[in-house]
Structure 1
Amino acid sequence: MTEQANRAISLSLRVGELLLASGEATENVTGAMRAILRTYGLRHVETDVNLSAITLSHVPDDGRPAVTAERRVRRRQPDYDRLVALQALVSEITRRKLPVGMAQERLRGVNRRPAVYPGWLVVAGLASVSSSAAVLNGGGLAVAGAAFVATVLGDRTGVWLARRGVAEFFQLAVAALIGTLIAVLMIWREMPVPASAVVVGAVVALLPGRPLVACVQDGIAGEYVTATARLTEVVFIVAAVVSGIGAMLALAVKMGVPITVDDTPTAPLSLAVPQVAGALGLGLTFAVALRVPPRHLLAGGLGGGLVWICYVLAIRWDLPKVMAAMLAAAVIGLLGNAWARRVRVPPMVFVIPAIGPLLPGSALYRGMLKLSLGDLSAGMRSLVEALSIALGIGTGVILGAEALRAVRRREGVRRIRPASRSTRGY
């Protein structure tokens, strides 16, 4: 194994690690790594990408010793600004065949680049996601402000717990509990506002929209091990959020706070200004929280408004909520992927912020409230509905991407995707 080959393997592994840590799907990570290795003349290479580790094996056909290397992904933090920069670097490596040393230096620059937004703005963006979701679900300025405060308190408490080594499961549970606590206090004080919209807003900021889409994408692409791991991650995140909501609601009911199912907010299926503005704001602020580059923020906001309009129209056509969410997600998946090809950035930069208005925060809260009030059957139905909507969103996003792939011209396609090989199920 030559020195250049070893450096190319190291470069490919490091790029794959950063792509996966920044939120990219397994199929795209594998494709980028293989493209880099082909550029430097390494053909007989196998890659194995899962949620926490990347393994690469090179078996030369001339009798030289085989080489196997691995990198662990120890921290996964969505950073779409870095994701865009990494995709641009991979494209430049494959088009211009940069020398390995120069490519490694450029990669170090990408890894060390300053954050696109200051930390306080990212926190404010996440809290504004809650405020926008509260407005979308019928809350006014007071409810939006309460949702903002609840999310900031939950986020800062989670950071405080993280610094003391507390597991992320409990960080999320505490954040959901704080949002529910503020809503319970508003109901207890009999404030004349839809206080439960605070919970829905806080929940939407915690729901795993990005891992959910990546989970479905990996499953459809045939990456079943990684898809299973991502699904497990999604289940634990949802379980943490549900635990926080359920614990606070059970305590409130036991203490006699007059909480009823009538307190449950439901987003008005309307194209009125408050709902459309809430959807636009949700997409825009979600993009800030995911560190989308400033030049692409507007597309994220417009995507949130578009997906809400498609969802409302689908409901008016008498489609079930799950089918309506899937259809709206498919539209944004198709358009998001088409626009991403045009501007040469990963599709997730546009798609993930846009699906925010569809995330089933209301159904989750309604299910936990019914369970807390003793209506087990209705509570479980609401939780199953929330899970079905979530899976429908993920499926719709990938359906839109696959529809675009089916109709585009095949020029330049050099290999068959593993996901497209027909096995007939066996």
Structure 2
Amino acid sequence: MAGVDQQDAPEPDAAEAAEQAAEDAAERAREVHLTMDLCLRIGEMLLSSGAGAADVTATMRSVADHLDLRQAEIDVTFTALSMSYQRTVDDVPTLMMRHVQQRDIDYEDLTAVDHLVRDILTDQCDLYLARSRMATIVSLGHAFPRWAVTVAWSVMAAAVGVFLGGGVVVSVVAAVSAALIDRVQLAMARRRLPFFYLQVAGGTIATLLAAAVAASPVDVDPSLAVTANIIMLLAGIGLMGAVQDALTGFYLTASARLIEAMMATAGIIAGVALGISIADGLGFRLEQLVPGKLGSISELPTILVGAAVSAAAFSVASYAPRRAVLPVGLITAVAAAISQGVEYAGFGRAAAAGAAAFFIGLVAYAVAGRVRVPPLVVAVPAIVPFLPGLSIYRGLTFLADGGFFVSQGILALMTAISVAIALASGVILGEYVAQPLKREARRLEGRLAGPRLVGPFRAMTRAERRAFRRSSAD
């Protein structure tokens, strides 16, 4: 009996090995969980800061592959990110999701996350240090104080008012309106009101200010004043982002971005209508407003300076690093000159916008490398003066009026869509031409559906990683 008991008892070495295997499996499961959480946090920060769905997916996959989560499944929609991983066919897959809580264009955080991703892929940062740095990025404030953002919006509105032909008075009113709208929207956002109501409030403020100026002795066109006052509210970036996602195969996210742009513009229309009603009740009579009315065509130097200043101011309002502000302004001025030249040669507005966008995409890659920011931080602000926000506003307003104006509304919306397609496709084509892709990068790029505006542009080979480690050790 004693011999049988001795035989059935497990060997000490086997028990220790089983215990060690269980500990290794638990540690491996923990690392998988931490890696997936890091990838989802990176993706959330990029998506909420304005990156396209293709760039977010590509960046998350690059980090996951480098941290030994091969063949992880990643799905990005407009409001949620999900990631699943199954080590073998016999294992139970791990699934994690993360929702995008807020959506503010923040190029300072975008740049910091981009640098973090590059450090991970060059083995300068392990999993645990990366998680610590990610928590620091989320918790830190911005280099620009919040009042500087308000000033930047005012400068942008004033510059756009000038090159749209509004003159000094309209530009001053637009600057005051932008500052007031920004502060009111900030207070409303802190109370977690939906974005639609923020747009309604902005449209109301812009219309009331235009009505007050029209009632004063100053000679100003109220339609032009309203147009200049709502510049900062227009949703052209959303439409261009929708087109970019559609071009890279993310049709669900593209549809969501399009609906968001339409709702934002509908909020402006509702706000303008409310402002007209309030002005009438106060005795400030406004004549029939012409939606999206422009002034006389400005001189070429005025257009170039206005475009450059508005783009630079937008980059400041979006917390872009200071080193990127001046290059953004210079690139925009050259792009505006190209656009004016193409339009003067007899081509349409869409062709002119496409040519300007191609130039921006072409140089954004090189300039972004010089100033150490993602190309998106350079490309999007430079695109801002060419966005079709006014056409969206004009089209939806005409459609809301009905009757004779429906055809004009359809024409304005088609113009907006064609310009947005030209801008998005021009930037993407410029990036394709500019990015030098080697064989490994081409294989990666084939899986990632398009050029990269955020994240690493190519994967390091094993030989490159070994050389990098040796140089770091030396």
Greater mean deviation of Cα atoms: 120-129 or 260-269: 260-269
Partner of 2:374: 346
- CA-CA distance at 1:286 after TM superposition: 0.8
- CA-CA distance at 1:364 after TM superposition: 5.6
Distance 2:198 2:389 in 1: 18
Partner of 2:257: 230
Deviations 1:187-210 (A, max 9, x none): 233522345443223322112233
Q: Does 1:89 align with 2:116?
A: yes
Distance 1:281 1:417 in 2: 38
Say if 1:253 and 1:259, in contact at 8 Å, map to a contact too. no
Distance 2:416 2:98 in 1: 35
SS in structure 2 of the partner of residue 417 of structure 1: helix
Partner of 2:93: 66
Q: Does 1:150 align with 2:177?
A: yes
- CA-CA distance at 1:290 after TM superposition: 1.0
Say if 2:223 and 2:290, in contact at 8 Å, map to a contact too. no
Q: 1:393 to 1:347 in 2, by over 3 A?
A: farther
Partner of 2:347: 319
Deviations 1:185-242 (A, max 9, x none): 2223352234544322332211223333322121111111111111111111121122
Corresponding residue to 2:425 among 395, 398, 403: 398
Say if 2:234 and 2:393, in contact at 8 Å, map to a contact too. no
- CA-CA distance at 1:164 after TM superposition: 4.0
Corresponding residue to 2:162 among 106, 125, 135: 135
SS in structure 1 of the partner of residue 122 of structure 2: helix
SS in structure 1 of the partner of residue 199 of structure 2: helix
- CA-CA distance at 1:87 after TM superposition: 0.6
Q: 1:28 to 1:363 in 2, by over 3 A?
A: closer
Corresponding residue to 1:186 among 201, 213, 216: 213
- CA-CA distance at 1:387 after TM superposition: 5.5
Partner of 2:19: none
Distance 2:396 2:280 in 1: 12
Distance 1:371 1:57 in 2: 44
Partner of 1:424: none
Corresponding residue to 2:306 among 278, 281, 302: 278
Distance 2:172 2:411 in 1: 30
Q: Does 1:310 align with 2:338?
A: yes
Greater mean deviation of Cα atoms: 26-35 or 321-330: 321-330
Deviations 1:327-352 (A, max 9, x none): 32232233223433555532221121
Distance 1:39 1:399 in 2: 32
Distance 2:410 2:211 in 1: 21
Partner of 2:465: none
- CA-CA distance at 1:325 after TM superposition: 2.3
Distance 2:179 2:45 in 1: 28
Q: 1:36 to 1:407 in 2, by over 3 A?
A: closer
Q: 1:266 to 1:312 in 2, by over 3 A?
A: farther
Distance 2:187 2:133 in 1: 34
Q: 1:397 to 1:174 in 2, by over 3 A?
A: same
Partner of 1:42: 69
Partner of 2:232: 205
Partner of 1:423: none
Say if 2:312 and 2:325, in contact at 8 Å, map to a contact too. yes
Distance 2:378 2:158 in 1: 21
Question: Could you say what the CA RMSD is over the residues aligned between the two structures, in angstroms?
Answer: 2.8
Tell me which amino acid in the other structure corresponds to 1:7: L
Distance 1:383 1:150 in 2: 29
Say if 2:157 and 2:171, in contact at 8 Å, map to a contact too. yes
Normalised by the length of structure 1, the TM-score is 0.88
Larger radius of gyration: 2
Partner of 1:120: 147
Partner of 1:257: 286
Q: 1:383 to 1:281 in 2, by over 3 A?
A: farther
Partner of 1:100: 127
Aligned pairs for 1:350-389 (under 5 A) are 350-360=378-388, 362-363=390-391, 376-378=403-405, 380-382=407-409, 384-385=411-412, 388-389=415-416
Say if 2:291 and 2:393, in contact at 8 Å, map to a contact too. no
Q: Does 1:109 align with 2:136?
A: yes
Distance 1:200 1:334 in 2: 32
Extract unaligned runs of 5+ from structure 1.
421-426
Say if 2:309 and 2:329, in contact at 8 Å, map to a contact too. yes
Extract unaligned runs of 5+ from structure 2.
1-24, 451-474
Distance 2:257 2:187 in 1: 26
Normalised by the length of structure 2, the TM-score is 0.80
Distance 2:329 2:295 in 1: 22
Distance 1:149 1:161 in 2: 19
Distance 2:243 2:56 in 1: 15
- CA-CA distance at 1:353 after TM superposition: 1.2
- CA-CA distance at 1:356 after TM superposition: 2.3
Say if 2:161 and 2:228, in contact at 8 Å, map to a contact too. yes
- CA-CA distance at 1:16 after TM superposition: 1.0
- CA-CA distance at 1:65 after TM superposition: 1.9
Identity score, percent = 28
Tell me which amino acid in the other structure corresponds to 2:355: L
Distance 2:378 2:187 in 1: 31
Q: How many residues align?
A: 418
- CA-CA distance at 1:101 after TM superposition: 0.9
Q: Does 1:28 align with 2:55?
A: yes
Greater mean deviation of Cα atoms: 102-111 or 205-214: 205-214
Deviations 1:299-356 (A, max 9, x none): 2222332232222222211122233223322322332234335555322211211122
Distance 2:81 2:394 in 1: 40
Distance 1:158 1:387 in 2: 30
Greater mean deviation of Cα atoms: 251-260 or 304-313: 251-260
